[in-house]
Amino acid sequence: MLALGGLASWLALEHLVTPWLTVPMHVTAMFGMFVVVHECAHHAAGRLTWFNDVTGRLAMPFVSAFGSFPAARHLHLQQHRQNAGGHLTPWNLRGPRWQLPLRWMVTDLWHVWAYLKQTADRPQLEVAEALGVLVLVPGMLAAVIGTGHGWQLVVVYLLPQRLALGLTGWWSDWFPRRQPIDALSYHRVHSRYPNLPFYRYPQARRADGTPSPATPPPPACPDVFHPLPVSSVRPLTDCAVEVGFTVPPQLREEFRFTPGQHVVLRAVLDGELVARSYAISSSPSDPELRVAVKQVPEGRMSTYATTGLRPGDRVEVLPPSGQFTVGPSRTGKHVVAIAAGVGIAPLLPMLSHTLADSSRSRVTLLYINRCGADTLFADELGALVRRFEGRLRVDHFRTDERDPDLRPLRPARPFDSIASALAICFERYHPGGLDPGRLRSLLDCRLHPAKVDEWLVCAPPEVADPLREVLTEHHVPAATVHSERFCTAATG
């Protein structure tokens, strides 16, 4: 697009061809730069945040002389979140038919006005950049006109830009409204998968056009406990176990579950009927139904499960329930999960299922523990990291900075140290917990909200609540954040 625009500018400025030829060439180039800005706004031009930011800023002057890239990105993503029409711009759809082309050609001015009304709620640096562009670029254009090159500026820049905006408004807003609801078009794919790069749209269209077998919903969960035999009790840490249950054939349909759900265990302890909920840590395809139980101070059920339960015992179990689940994706998605302690239990099968469901899905796990000895399912996580070859990245946060995992042994040979430093590692260890400041840094860098499709949070309230507030501050859509709370008080 830059080459085409440069060629058209040279031909126009040297008066080698008529503007009737160079203007359409400029319009085509500027429309292509709009595609670049759009991809960068969705963080789809590349995986690196800085690359999308820089590329979007460089392409933005070709699209509009008045708008900044961060402001345009905010407004466009806001339309995706709030409007029933997905990415459609309201300004481009209102008014009589004869007026619409004129509206399309000045849609950037409407965006500037819409952004200025929101500046009180936007970051100061973003607002400063928007105001700076609004003053600097028109000032430069006025200076060019003042030097006597106004006609060249109109032919090379101003007129093609207005026409390109008109073409963009027609293509992005008017045309989608005239298509059938079930049309397998670019616009439908973009509404469903806004963060998908445009070059993968044909694959998404083919996937949407292929009917998939209907998956029966999990059966309704009657409020009936069933005595299930304990098949295994596996220690996970000094104070946590994984309890496996054998589900008889006649109850398998009733105990069918979706990764992320939980069951309720009930037993008579000290003459009193005690019932507690525990997350399912097994996968739906596993022969056993397993739950992870961590002992809490004065917790009667957790103490019984971790110290008194043996294979062959029977425990009353309520069939699976819960809405803490993650949906399938044919085209792949990026899921970020935040877990603390035993909060990894429901996330482990969810993440494994997400990665197995689509070869294009990626998962980032932020896992908070005191130390390695307190980390549940450490071996299973390491196996998943190796199995999915870089599509799963695990960041361990250890609040005990004396943890040996934070200080790996120095290799005996110098070349081993160099090889270790250069190796790509998808499981890393960080001293300290995951506080709001650390999460903000991640959101400003590799976990930018535009590149994450779903968030999963499973942690105690004192950990989860501040982190959810940070997600809200960064305008992460509430519909993409799924959370499950658990308590560590003496109710376990």
Q: What is the DSSP letter of 280?
A: B
DSSP letters spanning 404-426: GGGSPPPPSSHHHHHHHHHS--S
What is the distance, to the nearest Å, from the Cα of residue 122 to the centroid of all Cα atoms in its chain?
A: 21
Smallest Cα–Cα separation from 61: which of 148, 132, 149, 126?
132
Give the pLDDT score at 421.
Answer: 41
**Which range scores top for mean pLDDT: 4-8, 286-290, 470-474?**
286-290
- Fold exhibited by the domain 226-321: Elongation Factor Tu (Ef-tu); domain 3 (2.40.30)
β-partners of residue 291 are 243, 280
Report the distance separating Cα 245 and Cα 227, nearest Å.
10
Pair 404, 429: CB distance under 8 Å: no
Give the pLDDT score at 417.
Answer: 45
Which pairing describes strands 289-294 and 240-245: parallel, antiparallel, or unpaired?
Answer: antiparallel
Question: How is residue 405 written in tokens?
Answer: 């995992």
Domain ranges of the chain: 2-178, 226-321, 334-485
Report the distance separating Cα 82 and Cα 70, nearest Å.
18
Q: Mean pLDDT over residues 378-390, rounded?
A: 90
**Which range scores top for mean pLDDT: 66-75, 105-114, 234-243?**
234-243
Four-CA torsion 411, 412, 416, 417, nearest 10 degrees: 50
Q: Mean pLDDT over residues 479-492, rounded?
A: 71
Same fold yes or no, 226-321 and 334-485: no
Q: What is the pLDDT of residues 19-32, one digit of tens each?
A: 999 999 999 999 99
Amino acid in position 325? T
Kindly give the residue spans of alpha helices, DSSP state H, lying in 237-343.
300-303
pTM greater than 0.95 (yes/no): no
Give the pLDDT score at 262.
Answer: 94
More confident residue, 256 or 87: 256
Assess whether pLDDT exceeds 50 at residue 212: no
Q: Which of 250-264, 311-325, 341-355, 420-434 has the lowest mean pLDDT?
A: 420-434
Smallest Cα–Cα separation from 106: which of 120, 121, 95, 117?
95
Report the distance separating Cα 430 and Cα 453, nearest Å.
25
Question: How is residue 410 written in tokens?
Answer: 């120095």
For the chain, give the mean pLDDT: 84
Q: Mean pLDDT over residues 434-447, rounded?
A: 89
Q: What is the pLDDT of residues 404-420, one digit of tens each?
A: 877 654 444 554 444 44
Assess whether pLDDT exceeds 90 at residue 199: no
Give the pLDDT score at 208.
Answer: 54
Q: Mean pLDDT over residues 253-258, rounded?
A: 93
Q: What is the pLDDT of residues 139-149, one digit of tens each?
A: 998 999 999 99
Handedness of CA 395, 396, 401, 403 (dihedral sign): negative
CATH 3.30.750.24 fits 334-485, yes or no: no
**Backbone φ/ψ region at 43: left (φ over 0), alpha (ψ -120 to 50), beta:** left
Assess whether pLDDT exceeds 90 at residue 465: yes
Smallest Cα–Cα separation from 83: which of 92, 485, 148, 273?
92
Give the pLDDT score at 286.
Answer: 92
Give the pLDDT score at 418.
Answer: 42
Which pairing describes strands 262-269 and 272-279: parallel, antiparallel, or unpaired?
Answer: antiparallel
Banded model confidence at residue 5, pLDDT cuts 50, 70, 90: confident
Give the pLDDT score at 172.
Answer: 79
**Which range scores top for mean pLDDT: 153-157, 232-236, 426-430?**
232-236
More confident residue, 409 or 309: 309
